[in-house]
Each structure stands twice: as structure tokens, then as C-alpha cells.
């Protein structure tokens, strides 16, 4: 996980020329950094550290085990798998909500109300880790034939017209951000500085400044915001692919 480099943040604030960084406490900088870190994760739609993703109805003991092991985790709702989407195609497709995928631990298929659970064999999984895509490619060689036939029937919609509920347990997120993603480090630092500047220069205080100072403040804040937005858009393309339209 990223940690705040307080010395670098102080230097960046001094370079901005808008605030006496010596008046800032380490506690304030750390709090602002942590807020920027969380905001950047939300806006980039990615975890900056490997995170266990479990269903939102996971048993309490599973959650407790992750907490005890101090492993980052998040919970998400189940997915729908509608066999009608794929017709007679011999494969299924799932797109995970979080990416990139590091590992898929378990995929369970359940018809609503039936209580019958099918665990997809690991040998059936074909992953596009970067873009969070999973193809289910059945192979009778990976499991015994009766189980294969049952699960193939389920995947093909042979039991019911209702979609299956899919529960995923997987590990997702970026690894070694400080080394492999220096632009993410730069983004979080710039967002931290920008948030400090916004705290320091409230709109009501600008009218008390000397002539020209308010204008320079506004321009500098706009420049910082522009740099943050540009870097954010570049990272979105790098992580999720170039957006069309």
C-alpha cells in the first residue's frame, strides 16, 4: 500500500508558492493523503493493492479470517449468468467488476431457490486478467463425466429459463504500485497537494488578498487541477483500455 512521503509533499507545496508548508502538520498531510488515496481508487475503479473479492453474503467466519490475516478485502453482489445470452455456444463469458484479475479462487453457479450449487472446475477457466474477463470452456477431461454433463446442462440452460446466480471469489488489483505504477504515486501526491490548497484558499478568503494575488491563486489551482485530470484520464486508459466515443 502507498504511504505518504511527507518530505516530498512539503516540497511540492513549497513549489506551488501558495502556502507556507511549514505550517502544515504531518497529521494533516497524512489524513489528506489517505483521503486522496481512497478517492483515486474510486475514480480509477481499481484497487492499488491486491484485494480479495468475496460475495456480499459470504459467511461471517470467512470475513473474520480475512480480517485476522490483515488481508484487504471487498464484498460485491452476485452476478447473473443467463444461458440464453450464449445460445448453443460451447462457452460462457463473465466480466468481473474489478480488474485486473490476479487469481480466481472459486466460481459457484446456483439456480435461485434450488440450493443446488455447481463449482466450476479450475481447468475450465480461461482468463483475460488485464480486462477482468473469464471464459468458461468446458472440458470433459477435467472432471468425471456425470458431473460434466450436469454442469454443461446448467450452462446451456437445460434446467430452467431463469439465469443462474454466480458467486465469485477472486483476487484483483494492482501489484507493486510504487515500482510499477509511478504515475499513480504522482497522481495521489498531486491530489493530496490540490486538496490541501483547496483547504487553504477558501473562496471567501480570496477577496481579502492584495491586488493580483487572488488571480494568481485561481490560476495555480486551475493548473494543479488540470494536471490531475490529465494524469487521471491517461491512467484510466492504461488500466481499462482506450474508451471509444
Tens of pLDDT along 71-99?
A: 999 999 999 876 665 554 445 788 999 99
Task: Examine the domain organization and report whether 129 and 57 are in the same domain.
Answer: yes
Task: Examine the domain organization and report whether 168 and 187 are in the same domain.
Answer: no
How far apart, in whole angstroms, are the C-alpha atoms of residue 188 and residue 35? 9
The answer as to whether 106 is a domain residue is: yes
Percent of the chain with pLDDT over 90: 44
Which one of 152, 172, 192 terminates a domain?
A: 172
With contact defined as beta carbons under 8 Å apart, do 122 and 103 qualify? no
How far apart, in whole angstroms, are the C-alpha atoms of residue 191 and residue 37? 8
- If you search the block for the grid coordinates 484558499, which residue do you land on? 201
Query: Measured at the alpha carbon of residue 99, what is the angle toward residues 98 and 103, in degrees to the nearest 5?
Result: 100
Q: Which domain holds residue 98?
A: 51-172
How far apart, in whole angstroms, are the C-alpha atoms of residue 212 and residue 80? 58
The answer as to whether 204 is a domain residue is: yes
How many residues make up the chain in this entry?
A: 245
The answer as to whether 59 is a domain residue is: yes
Write out pLDDT tens, residues 99-136: 999 999 999 988 776 677 888 889 889 999 999 999 88
Find residue 54's DSSP bridge partners: 75
- If you search the block for the grid coordinates 490540490, which residue do you land on? 194
Query: Measured at the alpha carbon of residue 161, what is the angle toward residues 157 and 163, in degrees to the nearest 5?
Result: 75
Task: Examine the domain organization and report whether 60 and 166 are in the same domain.
Answer: yes
Mean pLDDT of 222-230: 87
The answer as to whether 245 is a domain residue is: no
Positive or negative: CA dihedral 71, 73, 78, 82 = negative
pLDDT-derived band at 236 (thresholds 50, 70, 90) equals very high
* Domain count of the fold of the chain: 2
Task: Examine the domain organization and report whether 17 and 114 are in the same domain.
Answer: no
The answer as to whether 97 is a domain residue is: yes
Task: Examine the domain organization and report whether 167 and 106 are in the same domain.
Answer: yes
Task: Examine the domain organization and report whether 168 and 180 are in the same domain.
Answer: no
How far apart, in whole angstroms, are the C-alpha atoms of residue 187 and residue 192? 9
pLDDT at 204 > cutoff 80 = no
Give this prediction's pTM.
Answer: 0.79
Task: Examine the domain organization and report whether 57 and 79 are in the same domain.
Answer: yes
Task: Examine the domain organization and report whether 58 and 105 are in the same domain.
Answer: yes
For residue 232, give the nearest of 65, 42, 78, 98 by alpha carbon. Answer: 42
The answer as to whether 223 is a domain residue is: yes
Task: Examine the domain organization and report whether 31 and 91 are in the same domain.
Answer: no
Amino acid at each position: 500500500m502507498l504511504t505518504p512521503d511527507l518530505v516530498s509533499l512539503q516540497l511540492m507545496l513549497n513549489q506551488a508558492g501558495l502556502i507556507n508548508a511549514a505550517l502544515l502538520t504531518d497529521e494533516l498531510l497524512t489524513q489528506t493523503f489517505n483521503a486522496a488515496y481512497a478517492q483515486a481508487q474510486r475514480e480509477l475503479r481499481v484497487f492499488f493493492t491486491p484485494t480479495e473479492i468475496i460475495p456480499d453474503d459470504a459467511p461471517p467466519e470467512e470475513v473474520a479470517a480475512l480480517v485476522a490475516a490483515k488481508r484487504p478485502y471487498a464484498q460485491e453482489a452476485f452476478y447473473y449468468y443467463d444461458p440464453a445470452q450464449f445460445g448453443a455456444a460451447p462457452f460462457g463469458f463473465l466480466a468481473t467488476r474489478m480488474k485486473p484479475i490476479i487469481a480466481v479462487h472459486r466460481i459457484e453457479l446456483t439456480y435461485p431457490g434450488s440450493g443446488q450449487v455447481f463449482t466450476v472446475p479450475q481447468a475450465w477457466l480461461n482468463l483475460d486478467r488485464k480486462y477482468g474477463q473469464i471464459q468458461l470452456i468446458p472440458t470433459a477431461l477435467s472432471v468425471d463425466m456425470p458431473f460434466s454433463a450436469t454442469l454443461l446442462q446448467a450452462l446451456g440452460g437445460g434446467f430452467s429459463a431463469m439465469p443462474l446466480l454466480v458467486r465469485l471469489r477472486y483476487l484483483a488489483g494492482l501489484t507493486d504500485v510504487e515500482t510499477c505504477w509511478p504515475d499513480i504515486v504522482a497522481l495521489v501526491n498531486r491530489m493530496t497537494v490540490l486538496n490541501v490548497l483547496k483547504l487553504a484558499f477558501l473562496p471567501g478568503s480570496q477577496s481579502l488578498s492584495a491586488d493580483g494575488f487572488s488571480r494568481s491563486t485561481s490560476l495555480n489551482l486551475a493548473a494543479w487541477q488540470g494536471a490531475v485530470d490529465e494524469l487521471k484520464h491517461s491512467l484510466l486508459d492504461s488500466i481499462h483500455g482506450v474508451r471509444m466515443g
